[in-house]
Amino acid sequence: MATCFVSKGCFVFKPKDSKKRKISVTADSFIKGKAVSENDRLRFSTYVSLWQQMKEETESLQENLNEKIFDNLLSFIKKSNIQLHSKQNDWSYRMRCSEIPAAAVVLGVNVPDHEMTFQNLSDLLKQSLTPHVVCLQGKECTTVKHVLQKVLINLMGGTVNDEEEDEEGVHHSVHFSQRKMHCSMASLAGWYSATTQKSTSNSPSKKRKSPSLGQEQSPPIVIIFKDLESFLPKVLQDFIVISSNYIQQLPLVLVFGIATSPITLHRMLPHAVSSLLCIELFQSLSCTDHLTTVIDKLVLTTKFPFKLNGKVLQVLISIFLYHDFSVRNFVKGLQLSLLEHFYSHPLSLLCCTPDEANARVQNLTHDDCELIRQVPSFMGYVDHQDSEKQVKLLTNDQYLKDDVQKLLTDLHIYHQNYFPILKCLHVSTSSLPKYPLGKQIRELYITCLERNIWETEEYSSAFQLLGMMAKDELVCLLQKCMEVLKSFKQQTAITEAMQKLEEFLTNFQKLDDVAAVAEVKENEDQKTSPRKSLQEKTDLYQLQKTLMEMKKSRRSKKLSRFEVLRKEVLEFLDKLVRQYLLPPETQPLHEVVYFSAASTIRRHLNAAPRTALQTALSNPYYYLQNDVLRSEGGSITNTAPDICIVYKLHLECGRLINLYDWLQAFVTVVSAAEEKDPDKMSNGQVDEVLHARFIRAVSELEFLGFIKPTKQKTDHVARLTWGGL
């Protein structure tokens, strides 16, 4: 039998409707199993409500962070448009007539977040300034013609969205635009002139002397280049040169989204082209600062009862720092953690506000009470109680419910005291040399979650450095701690800490009043000091006596008033840390609100493609969950998909695989599944259907990178991987 060549084709079939499909979690998909209890539905509704609150908080935070840069961009675009309509023969008007206003927006390397930022900017421009906004991506604009097509389609079509429009719709819009007028900048100028004249004729007002009114009737055309680094320099240069010839007819404003550095724009554009632009630089907030704000609002707060374990938080931060710098993906990881917590933990229905938790505890069933008794932290809590209370907790459900209510309230109070003291400790140590406890509060928080912070060497080093602080530095530190605690003063413990800090500040102020008196006294003591006597006495015996007195006085030197007060301040801070920064594992029922499955989050977010492929090919039951596909050890299941059979057969071969032998082995396995005798083949030929199935499976295996064709032997393929799972 002649061998067949392995197919090398790769075909892409686009669906008719390529609109983005949002995968939503429903109650049916959230709850598995036939028996669905009321607690299960309550868990799902709690998850939905809690995530909605966190999502709204994130969106509000995003708006506040982008507010400044968006306001500056709007002001820049408005000013550029006003200059176009200005009739004064001034310098700005002459510059505006010869240059295109361009905003270089440096957003940072968190590229996945740029899409949301530009979408918000586009919506804001359309709502407040101009309906003519076009967003372009480098992968869609490989030529100047494509750039003009995208601009014309988005402006003249009005309803066309390149990300959500199907392929037929795009072609129809392009055909419609080109049929009506040529795809050129002159066509855009004619369309804009007709549009502005039409809006002017439809306007009821006859007087248009107001600059703002004229600006509304001739709104600017804003073209946003989302990813400047992805555009071909030649395409960008040609488009800018063409646009500069129509700047007096079209109020164009260009916005360049830059991920790296502003110098990228000058590297892509030579001086002859960059001189046609009037560039203004806009800098957004760094992604690390953005992450710090998100963690402060979503994690380091008692507003949301859900909390992350130290290992889970470390996984999310590691993915952020070493993969994409995307705050958006960090929030998605937080959502996944929330979903996994409510999905996998039956007692997560108590992860809610204290009032709701108290009401739900009283509605717990006997089975729910048994689940509580099996929680590790609660078992440790029971072990530390007296024998009488232990019996009640293990046998009396109502007594258990009352005690659980108290424990959940204590857990809430624990968090109310935890975060203020944590922020105070961060404020106190974040400015120390070499940052022994970390520069960012997230580093300190992870350390506090995993162990007793006061038992670490870094903590001792930090307090040694604090013990060498000057008076001004220490007073400034106490004032910062006071500002942190003011937002948490509803707690009794926090109020007492604030009063103690105020007392320390008052004592430091009193030191200034007694400084003059102390200085006079010190001068008097110096007159009779051993050092003064040392200068007067010359006798050897007296000299030896004086030196001994000096050595003794140095050993028994008394601390000054400031040193005593500084020591008291540090002892008070250390007391607060030891009292309120205990790890969550020390709190009973912390499993109710803390999510600790770090391996699950790592597996979902930090995927290992090779491991997943080998698992799917060697054990298809892992993903398909079909009992027919179960196999023991390394045996080959004849009911498995063709590619799985071919994969397992290729594991038994060496570096070179004979295609004919491989085919015969495949036919033998498949024929056993179909209850056919492989020896009874007509004329010794393999069935065409089985042959085609084998070629397809081998082609898929080649596409995945497990094999490749080889020139050593024409009827062989080379194996590229070794070993399996």
Residue identified by tokens 């992450």 is: 291
What DSSP designation does 153 have? I
Are 111 and 162 a contacting pair, CB within 8 Å?
no
Report the distance separating Cα 102 and Cα 276, nearest Å.
10
Q: Which segments in the chain show pLDDT lower than 50?
A: 1-14, 16-21, 23, 33-34, 87-91, 94, 158-180, 205-215, 516, 530, 532-534, 537, 724-725
The structure tokens 């067949």 sit at 4
Sequence spans of domains, the chain: 57-190+216-285, 417-524+559-586, 609-719
CA–CA separation, 67 and 165 (whole Å): 30
Cα 605 to Cα 143, 216, 333, distances in angstroms: 36, 47, 7
The DSSP-derived string for 275-313 is: TTEEEEEEEPPPHHHHHHHHHHHHTS-SSS--EE-HHHH
Q: Round to whole Å and give the CA distance between 515 and 362.
A: 63
Q: Length of the chain, please?
A: 725
Tokens 């022994």 belong to 436
- In this prediction, residue 35 carries a pLDDT of 54
- Strand 707-709 and strand 716-719: the pairing is antiparallel
Query: What is the residue type of 565?
Result: L
Q: For position 30, what pLDDT does the model report?
A: 57
C-alpha to C-alpha distances, 329 to 112, 393, 607, nearest whole angstrom: 8, 43, 14
Distance of CA 561 to the CA centre of its chain: 49
The reported pLDDT for the residue numbered 214 is 39
In 116-161 the beta strands, taken as DSSP E runs, fall at 133-136
Residue corresponding to tokens 């968090």: 415
| Phi, psi dihedrals of residue 225, rounded to the nearest 5° | -95, 100
Q: What is the SS3 assignment for 601?
A: helix
Q: What are phi and psi of 379, to 5 degrees?
A: -65, -40
User: Distance (Å, rounded) from C-alpha 551 to C-alpha 544?
Assistant: 11
Supply the pLDDT for residue 701: 93
Euclidean distance between CA atoms 705 and 702, whole angstroms = 5
Element of type H or E holding 254 = strand 252-258
Copy the structure tokens of residue 251.
Answer: 């109020």
* Cα(68)–Cα(284) distance, integer angstroms: 9
CA distance 641 to 620: 8
Q: How far apart are the first and last CA of the chain?
A: 34
Query: Two tokens at 316?
Result: 């999310």
Output the CATH code of domain 609-719.
1.10.10
Rounded alpha-carbon distances, angstroms, from residue 164 to 142, 146, 160, 169, 329: 20, 18, 8, 10, 22
Q: From 2.60.40, 3.40.50, 3.30.43, 1.10.3470, which CATH number describes the 57-190+216-285 domain?
A: 3.40.50
Write the single-letter amino acid at 593: V
What is the pLDDT, as a whole number, of residue 216?
Answer: 52
Question: How confident is the model at residue 276, as a pLDDT?
Answer: 92
Quote the pLDDT of residue 311: 95
Residue labelled with tokens 């030191």: 511
Determine if the pTM surpasses 0.85. no
pLDDT at residue 86, rounded to an integer: 52
DSSP H/E element including 320: none
The pLDDT of residue 417 is 94
Instruction: List own/partner pairs for 476-483 with CB under 8 A and 24 or more apart.
Output: 477/427, 477/428, 478/504, 478/505, 478/508, 478/569, 479/505, 480/427, 480/428, 481/424, 481/427, 481/428
